A and B are shown apart, each in its own frame.
Chain A
Amino acid sequence: MNEPAASNPPSHAALRWRLWLLERLAPSDWQVTLAWAALIGIGGGLSSILFREAVHGLHLLLTGSPAGMVESFTHLEPWRRCLIPALGGFLAGAILLIGRRLTPGKSTTDYMEAIALGDGKVPFRTSLIKSTAALFAIAAGGSIGREGPMVQLAAVIASRVGQWRSFSTPRLRLLVACGGAAGIASAYNAPIGGAFFVAEIILGTIAMESLGPLVVAAVAATLTVRILQDAHTLYQVPHFTLHSLWEILPYLGLGVLAGLVAPLFLRLLRRAEKLFDQMSLPLLARLTLGGLIVGVIAVWVPEVCGNGYSMVVAILNGNVLWSALLLIVVCKGLATGASVGSGAPGGVFTPTLFMGASLGFLVGSGAHALAPAAASDPKAFALVGMGAFLAAASHAPVMAIILLFEMTLSYDIILPLMLASTVAYFTARQYEGESLYGDFMRRREAHDPDRTLPPIVLSDLLRPQPAVVTLAAPFSEIARVFIQAQIDHLYVVDHQGRLAGVISLHDIKPYLGQPDLAACVIAADILRESVPSLNRSTSLAEALATFARSEFERLPVVATDGSLRIEGTVAKNDLLLALAESGATAKGATRKSADLR
Chain B
Amino acid sequence: MKFPSDRLRMPSPSPVPDLFLTHINLELGSNEGVGALAELFSGLEPLPAVTDRQRLWNDLLGRQKAGPVAFSALVALPHARSAGVSEILMLAGRHATGIAFDAEHPNIRLVFLIVTPKDQAAAYLQKVATLARALRQPDRIAALLTAANGDDFQRILAGDAVPS
Residues of A within 8 A of B (CB): 1-4, 13, 16-17, 19-20, 24, 471-472, 474, 504, 506-514, 516-517, 519-522, 524-530
Contact = CB atoms under 8 A, between A and B. Distances in A.
Given A1-B142, A3-B141, A525-B79, 7 more contacts: A1-B74, A2-B74, A504-B122, A510-B10, A514-B132, A516-B129, A525-B121
Contacts of B136: 3-4, 516
A3 B72 contact: yes
B94 interface: no
A524 B142 CA distance: 31
Nearest to A512: B8
A17 B129 contact: no
B129 A514 contact: yes
A19 B4 contact: yes
B81 interface: yes
Nearest to A511: B129
B155 interface: no
Interface of B: 1, 4-5, 7-8, 10, 63, 66-74, 76-77, 79, 81, 118-119, 121-122, 124-126, 128-129, 132-133, 135-136, 138, 141-142
A516 B133 contact: yes
Contacts, number: 100
A513 B77 contact: no
B73 A520 contact: no
11 contacts: A4-B132, A4-B135, A16-B5, A472-B67, A507-B125, A510-B10, A512-B8, A519-B68, A522-B67, A524-B67, A527-B121
Contacts of B8: 16, 19-20, 509-510, 512-513
Contacts of B1: 24
Nearest to B118: A529
A508 B126 CA distance: 9
A519 B72 contact: yes
Contact of A17 (B4, B66, B69, B124): B4
Contacts of B74: 1-2
Nearest to A16: B4
A574 to B, nearest CB: 28
A518 to B, nearest CB: 10
B121 A516 contact: no
Nearest to B75: A4
B66 A517 contact: no
A472 to B, nearest CB: 5
Contacts of A530: 119
A508 to B, nearest CB: 6
A3 B72 CA distance: 6
Nearest to A521: B128
Given A510-B10, A514-B10, A519 B71 contact: yes
Contacts of A509: 8
A529 B83 CA distance: 12
B58 to A, nearest CB: 14
